Every structure is written in structure tokens, then in C-alpha cells.
Chains A and B, each alone.
Chain A
Amino acid sequence: MNDIMVEIRNVSKSFGKTSVVNDLNLSVHSGEFLTLLGPSGCGKTTLLRMIAGFEYPDKGDILIQGKSILSIPPNRREVNTVFQSYALFPHLTVRENIAFGLKMKKVPREAMDRRVDAAIELTQLESLALRKPAKLSGGQQQRVAIARSLVNEPKVLLLDEPLGALDLQLRRQMQISLRRLQRRLGMTCVYVTHDQEEAMTLSDRIAIMNAGRIEQLGTPAEIYGTPATPFAARFLGDTNFLSGTLQRAADGTMNRFITATSEIPLPTNVELLKEKYQSLSIRPEYISLHHEKPTDFALQGKIIEENFLGLFSRITVSLASGEHLFVLIPSSAKSPYTVGDNIFATWDPAQAHLIGMDNI
């Protein structure tokens, strides 16, 4: 798990005057499922296409197992891509589609049959092997696309939003089976998506990308719990931002975050950022609401909206500062809150995180 499979070194890529990938560094471990998560246009697909060999970086180097692959054309790189549109060959049957890569590499007939059979079994396509892609559903086509790549036993499997065209229910099913398959084969995967839930479900690590750079790299829990930038905080899950300044405690006991209308305690062990102006990020599910003023700190506000979301209800609180605070509470048959209530919002200081605002 510790040896590095893919290494991206200072890679930049522009199309015309638009810089798409900007001096980017990234290492993918062997057997790891790494997701590039970001909005459209953030450079994630371009990065993937550079690993596949369909685009060539302007600067920097891409290495697989320590060797540069830039001089190798796409048809001789030991990586395979699952395309967003699946890109199945319409004139070939499922079986012929899956065998294509082995046929191109002139794998002997017997070994080819064995490997194709194994891939068909792995993706449960036995009953569909002789059909043409046009006669398959979206989910089945997806499985063929994955089998067609897997059968080549690539060092790295690249997946470009492969589940984007499927409906939500099928997408969740496919996420689970894809993850199971990846674990079973110990395959290194680089996965591109803009769907944060998908990224969290699938990944060992997520690289949050924005404007051609990686904003944060870490496990889903790390990024969710301690987002490094406002962008990361907003892109992975919902969050509230309170703006203010940091006041370091003189006696070293308690740091405080000073907003326009209140002072909020911070955990003592918080890593203090050097920027003076900060944003305090607090996830909606960590906030609790009280009608009576709690003994420790609390922000006073008024409930202006309540939305029922199924498992949770989302309550919007308008603070005295004019800022809005979104709060998620487990929904119940009879909500203890009504719109117009005066309310006190509080949270465990350890759950809030400071984010420097210099890089907005």
C-alpha cells in the first residue's frame, strides 16, 4: 500500500490561453482508490486524460512505478480507461468488446478465452455475452466497459465519471460493486467525479480539485472533518461559515474567535493559522439549538425557515450579525421548533474548524 504507483510531478496543461492544470503534484499508492473530485472545468478529466495519454502535459512529468510514461503512446501504456460514454464498440458483441484489448496484444487464443471468461464472470455478464451493446441497458453497458478494461490487468484503471449517466439507485448499486471489485483485485484506481457522495463512498483518498490545482488531499473523513480551504469545506458536504478574527489567548488557555456580535471559544489544540482573517467552518449537523440560554457560549438568533428532508430537518437561523446558520436536526413527527422562535445555537468547540481566508 505504501509503494507509489502513479506520480504526477509539477504538471501543467493549457488549452490555448486557458490554463487547465496548474503545476500539480500527486502520488497515487499501489492498490489505492483515489478520486479526483471537483466542479466541471477544474481540470480533473484533463489530468486523467494525461495519464491515459490522450493529452500531453505542457510541463512536468508523469511516472508509473518510477518510470516516466510521457514518451509512451496511449496504446502502449499499461493503463486502461473507462469512458464516461462507455465507448463500447457497437458492431461487436459483449464478448468481442471485452476480448478487444487482448486481441490487440496478440494474447494466445487459449489464455485470451480464459481471461475473457473470468472478466465476464467477475462482472456477471454471462447471459449477455453474445449481445450487441445496443441491446443492453445503461448499467449493463457500464459493466461491459469495466470488464473490457479489467481484462487487460492494467497497472492503473482510470475511470472518467463512469456512473454519471445512470439513475441514482443504480449508481449506488454500481458504486458498491465497483468498490468490492477494486478491493478484491487490489487494483489501483483513479476515479473522476463531481459527485461528493460518490467520492466519499468509493475512495481511499479524495483529491479536491479547483481551478487546475489540488485544494486538499486526504481520506474522506479527514477532508470532511478538517477541510483545509473554504472550497474544500463547501465541496465535500455542507457547512456554515462565520467570518471574524482570531484572538490568541494571552495565558494560553483558550483561543477565541471574534465575530461582529459574539466571541466563540476555540479548542486549545487547534492549529492556529497565520492569516489574521479567518473563517470558522461548522457543519450543520454539529450545531444544537436551545430555547433557553445554555451555560456555555451560544449565538442568539431567530428561526426563519424549517425544511423537512426525510432523515433530517434543516433549520435556518438568522443570527444577530445578519449571517445565516443552517442546522440539521434529526427529524421527528412533531418538531420542537417553529418559525419565528428565538433560539440559541451552540456546539462543541472541538467540532468547528478555522480556515484561512487568504486563498479565496
Chain B
Amino acid sequence: MFSRISFSNWILAFIAFSVLAFLYLPIIVVVLYSFNPDTVNSFPMNGFSLKWYQVMFENEALIASLGHSVAVALISTSIATLLGVPLAFAMNRYAFPGKRLLERVVLLPLILPGILTGIAMLTFFQMLGIPQSMLAVVIGHSTFLMAIMMPQVYAQLKRLDSSIQEAALDLGASGIQAFFYVIFPNIRTAIFGAALLSFTLSLDEIPVTYFLNGVFSTLPIQIWGMTRNGITPQVNAISTLIFAFSLTAILISAWLGRKGE
């Protein structure tokens, strides 16, 4: 009996390990190669070097695109927050016809293939006369980041006892005070977690950006351009940095999400 359990546990552990390896081995290889002193990616490596990080930081186009990406991510996340939080509020507070439909429709930009969203927006923006630019990219990102922000905040609001709003009013708070003293403290972890996740997603978004950027380049687009002539070691270096940042952000976001429950 005991050995049987332990045998099946072994199999489970093996499968779990294989899945993890399948998912993360490629990333580990990239991380390792980023410290490779050679120009050609080959194993075993001939030592350890930060050379490619230096090359990367000297690549002005790459650093400029990093700046663009951070700016786009910050602005898009802010817009998604400013629109998504009130929308979640309205959804939670009011019953209106088509509410169930709206709950689903808001998620569409996240579910639809990015290439479709990208083409659709490109066509639409041209109709409106918005050129391919940073503005177009920001609008494009904001729409699908809303699909992250709104449901997270909405879910948190639904978990909250709806009568605490009335209790706050009953105890003398104005509507604004009720929001800032009672509602906001109970949803801020959800907002912050969703914002972190949004920021990360915006940072490495390619399909929608590709259709809307024009000459304006974000980091993933820049990297993608660089890899057309084969993977250079500095791509490994920047990928490693992005990976480290994303991992941290996602872990914090998950931790906040758990704490908020």
C-alpha cells in the first residue's frame, strides 16, 4: 500500500517536472547564453561574462524603445485603471439591460486574436484620422488592459458586502468619503495587482502594437526586428532582464491577489 502511493507519487513528480522543464528550459537557456562571452550560442560556454549586457546598454535604439515601452505601459495601465474601476463600480451597483452581455464583451479584446484586434483598430483609426503612432498604440493597449482591470475589480466588489456602503452613509460619511474610507481600502489590492499584470502584458505586447506603431518602436518590436538576422547575444541579455522583471511583477500580483481574498 505504502509503496504503491510512493510509486504513483514518483510518476506524478516526474510528469510535473517534465512539464516545468518543457515550459522553462528554453528560458533558462536564454538566461545562460546571456552570460556567454562568445558571439555564437553554443554549449558548453567558454566562461561567464556581462559583455552582452554592456553591448545592449550601448545600443541606443534598443534603450530608446525600452523607454517607449515603459511609457506606453504606464499610460495604458493608467487609462485602463481610470476607466476600468468606475466601470466595475457601475456594473456592481446598477442592474441594467445587457449587463450580462457587457460582462462578456469587455473580455473580448483579451480573447480575440491580437492580429484581429490589430487589423480592426488600424482600419478604424485610419477612418478617424488617427495616424500610426504612440497614441494609437496606447489606445490599442488600453482596450485590452481594461479587460484585465475591470473583471478583477468587479470580482472584488462582488465579494464585498454591499451594505458596507450604506453603513458608511448611515454613520455620517458622504458618498465620496464612503468610497475613500470604506470601499477603496477593500479593493486597492485588486487594483494594484491588476495594474501590475497590465503593465507586464503591455510591456511585451507585439501583435496589436505591430499594426499600430508606424515608425514608433517598442521594445518587443525592436527585439523582433533584431532577431530577423539571427539571435544576437544582446537579445539574450535584454530578454533575461525582461524575464526577471515580469516574473517579479507577476509574483507580486499573485501575492496581492491572494492577500485581497
Contact = CB atoms under 8 A, between A and B. Distances in A.
Contact of A54 (B166, B182, B185): B166
A95 interface: no
Given A85-B161, A85-B163, A104-B177, A91 B186 contact: yes
B170 interface: yes
A74 interface: yes
Contact of B170 (A75, A88, A105): A75
Given A87-B161, A90-B186, A81 B173 contact: no
B171 interface: yes
Contact of B167 (A53, A73, A83, A152): A83
A85 B164 CA distance: 9
Give the interface SS of chain A, mostly helix, strand, loop or mixed: loop
A100 B186 contact: no
Interface in B147-184: 160-161, 163-164, 166-174, 177, 181-182
A88 B181 CA distance: 13
Interface-centre pick from B172, B177, B185, B186 (highest chain A CB count, 10 A): B172
A74 B167 CA distance: 10
Given A89-B182, A90-B186, A91-B186, A100 B163 contact: no
A52 interface: yes
Given A83-B163, A87-B161, A87-B163, A104 B173 contact: yes
A114 interface: no
Interface in A44-75: 52-54, 73-75
B134 to A, nearest CB: 38
A105 B172 contact: yes
Contact of A89 (B164, B169, B174): B164
A76 B171 CA distance: 9
B172 A152 contact: yes
Nearest to B173: A104
A45 to B, nearest CB: 12
Binding site secondary structure of chain B: helix
A104 B185 contact: no
A93 to B, nearest CB: 13
A148 B163 contact: no
A105 B181 CA distance: 14
A52 to B, nearest CB: 6
Contact of A83 (B166, B174, B185): B166
A239 interface: no
B161 A75 contact: no
B185 A87 contact: no
A355 to B, nearest CB: 39
Contacts of A203: none
B161 A74 contact: no
A101 interface: yes
B226 to A, nearest CB: 47
Contacts of A148: 171
A179 B28 CA distance: 69
B172 A81 contact: no
A80 B172 CA distance: 9
Ranked 8 nearest A-B pairs via Cβ: A101-B171, A104-B172, A87-B167, A87-B163, A91-B185, A74-B169, A75-B169, A87-B164
Given A81-B167, A88-B164, 7 more contacts: A52-B170, A73-B169, A89-B186, A90-B160, A90-B164, A91-B185, A91-B186
